[in-house]
Amino acid sequence: MVVQENSMREQAHLIGVVDDDPRVLNGLQQLLESVGYDVLSFQSANGLLASNNLDSINCVITDIGMPEVNGFELREILSREHPQLPVILITGRYELIENLPPESDMRILRKPFDSITLLSTISDCLAGTGLS
């Protein structure tokens, strides 16, 4: 019996990134792609929600302070429509998160955060969904 080697690479996880600041969006995309993730970038929550790829995304990283639909609202929508999809909130506006209860189950990173912290948080999210 001959065992053939699988020539296809293992499928990378698809990360959705939402931020209205193009510099942050581009920086996150470059970082995530450099470590092997596939990335879809959106400058608004509505862009992500209208995406035909939403069912393929394994984790979402979203800024909190955005016009129209903010990160908290996006997280709430995704928790209803895609309850297994982990969401990581990021913000440089600390006043948006200072009154959250300490027992909150939200994953929030304060800008500026380092790449190790972000990558570790993504890994934890994927492990929690059985995708790591």
- Residue 84's contacts (CB-CB under 8 Å, 6 or more residues apart) are 129
Is the Cβ–Cβ distance between 106 and 123 less than 8 Å? no
Is the Cβ–Cβ distance between 72 and 99 less than 8 Å? no
Q: Give the mean model confidence (pLDDT) for residues 86-95.
A: 85
Which percentage of the chain shows pLDDT scores above 70?
Answer: 80
Whether the per-residue pLDDT at 17 is higher than 70: the answer is yes
Is the Cβ–Cβ distance between 72 and 44 less than 8 Å? no
Q: What count of other Cβ atoms lies within 10 Å of the Cβ of residue 51?
A: 14
Give residue 105's pLDDT.
Answer: 74
Q: Give the mean model confidence (pLDDT) for residues 88-116.
A: 79
Is the Cβ–Cβ distance between 81 and 55 less than 8 Å? no
Give residue 128's pLDDT.
Answer: 83
Is the Cβ–Cβ distance between 60 and 87 less than 8 Å? yes
pTM of the predicted model as reported, rounded to 2 decimal places: 0.85
Higher pLDDT, 95 or 110: 110
* pLDDT 10s digits, 117-130: 999 999 999 998 66
* pLDDT tier at 94, thresholds 50, 70, 90: low
Q: What count of other Cβ atoms lies within 10 Å of the Cβ of residue 42?
A: 20
Give residue 2's pLDDT.
Answer: 38
Domains of the chain: 14-128 (3.40.50.2300)
* pLDDT tier at 100, thresholds 50, 70, 90: low
Whether the per-residue pLDDT at 102 is higher than 80: the answer is no
